[in-house]
Structure 1
Amino acid sequence: MAPKPITSPVPDAWYPTLSVFMLAIGLVVTASFFIYEATSSRRNQSLTKELITGAVASVFLGFGSLFLLLASGVYV
């Protein structure tokens, strides 16, 4: 029985599109985080909202960076 080759679950043609969309979403969420931090007072800040917003931005920027590297030919 011959082993099956390892293939990507995402088609290679989708890498540039995924990187643009994920980086755009990550940058928008990051901008909303900075706006929230700059405009809310110390009494009105919520640690839960800050952690969730930071985690969402981090995930989108991380996967966006990964797909950008894959689209440019750097296979990680």
Structure 2
Amino acid sequence: MAPKPVTSPVPEAWYPTLAVLMIAVGLVITASFFIYEATSSRKNRCLAKELTTGSFASVFLGFGSLFLLLASGIYV
């Protein structure tokens, strides 16, 4: 039995679209995080909300950067 070649679960044609979409969503979440930090007082801040928002922004920006590298031909 011959081994199967490794293929991406996402079609290569979707890489640029996913990169732009995920980076845009990540930047919007990052902006909302900064707005939340700038407009709320220290007494009213919620650590769980900060960690959740930061985590989502990090995930979207990370995958967006990955797809940007893949779309430009840098296979990581």
When the two structures are superposed, what TM-score results if normalisation uses the length of structure 2? 1.00
Unaligned ranges ≥5, structure 2: none
Provide the C-alpha distance between the structure 2 equivalents of 1:30 and 1:73, rounded to a whole number of angstroms. Answer: 27
Question: Shift of residue 17 of structure 1?
Answer: 0.1
When the two structures are superposed, what TM-score results if normalisation uses the length of structure 1? 1.00
Unaligned ranges ≥5, structure 1: none
Letter of the 1:28 counterpart: V
Provide the C-alpha distance between the structure 1 equivalents of 2:67 and 2:42, rounded to a whole number of angstroms. Answer: 37
Q: How does 1:10-25 map to 2 (within 5 A)?
A: 10-25=10-25
Query: For this pair of structures, how many residues does the alignment match?
Result: 76
Corresponding position of 1:8: 8
Percent identity of paired positions between Structure 1 and Structure 2: 80
Q: CA RMSD, aligned part only?
A: 0.2
